[in-house]
Amino acid sequence: MRALDLLRLSTTSSPQRVRPSGPQRGRALARRVRGAAATARTEVPRRVGERTTEAALAGFLTDYVSDREEHAADGSGHALRFAARNPVSTAAAVVAVLRLPLLPARLGSGPAADVLRSTLRTRHLGGLPVASTGVAVLDVPADPAEYVLGAHRQTLRRKVRAAQKKGVGWRTVDDPAERRALVERANAAEQAHEDTQYRVDAPDNADLLAHDLWLVATDADGEPIMLSVTPVDGEWGLLRYFRTLGSSPAHSDARYLLMPVLVEQLAARGVRHLTDSTPPPQLSNGLRHFQRMVGYRYARVKVTDRS
């Protein structure tokens, strides 16, 4: 609040009130100005606090991704250019990142630990590790039944019911030959995806075969329509692959049906945190919206080695 506004507030009074004169009037005016200034100071932190929450950070990322997609053709959607055009919201986002919870990730050895460590230590945004700038994390409850409870999971429950009405089911995949066939099927689906935003001309998914937790969603005829592959190490899991194998309402609903299944499988393995393999600024707004709908929130992660 500007000084002139403070003075206007301080000199506004009711017509019936008797105004002090002389030194008394001066002291009363000074008290009013100090009181109005104190009120203004308490309002500023509240407004700053609202702009530096985890939810506000999600909104900032939505704006950034929209800007990047809008300016993809002329190349002006670069992160630094966006920051220069939006200095106040960018500064608030930096504070929001620093306020995110810090989760420990004690990782061991093996393919799952290696890919988790590599993902969390990937450098972006000027060379900073993605783990220190915030990643999407889904907290896995010890009792997986808790995951679908509450008003905030209403859409998830509705989508699961819609998938079940379409005859969508699920199963684990343990046979090596079937896993190889599914990788080929996934590669073909990525190359032929009807949305160019998610189409991949030369997909590379051979590493999926090194991991253990495989789930598929199936249609009413038992045909695979979605594949999920999740490396697990200790209390952490990585959503390495979570994609549909085609396009239809059943394919779309299968994403929601598999989430509670995946949470249940992870809880049984002692996993408490599931993170995504792609940093939040690199995801489309559609995928980020899906993440938040099913329970992902942003957190920083401290990676250490498990002895």
Query: Which domains does the chain possess?
Result: 25-99 (no CATH), 102-305 (3.40.630.30)
Separation of alpha carbons 155 and 257, rounded Å: 11
Coil, helix or strand at residue 208: helix
Q: What is the pLDDT at residue 25?
A: 55
Kindly tell me the number of DSSP H helices and DSSP E strands found in the chain. Answer: 11, 12
Residue 4 is predicted with a pLDDT of: 28
pLDDT band at 124 (very low <50, low <70, confident <90, very high): confident
| Separation in Å, CA 306 to CA 240, 245, 303 | 21, 36, 10
The percent of residues above 90 in pLDDT, for the chain, comes to 63
Which pLDDT does position 175 carry in this prediction? 97
Residue 2 pLDDT exceeds 70: no
Residue 169 has pLDDT above 90, yes or no: yes
Q: Are 259 and 294 in contact (CB under 8 A)?
A: yes
Q: State how far the Cα of 225 lies from the Cα of 248, in Å rounded to an integer.
A: 9
What is the average pLDDT score of the chain? 85
CA distance linking residue 233 with residue 229, whole number of Å: 13
Tell me the pTM. 0.80
More confident residue, 236 or 7: 236
Widest CA span of the chain, in angstroms?
95
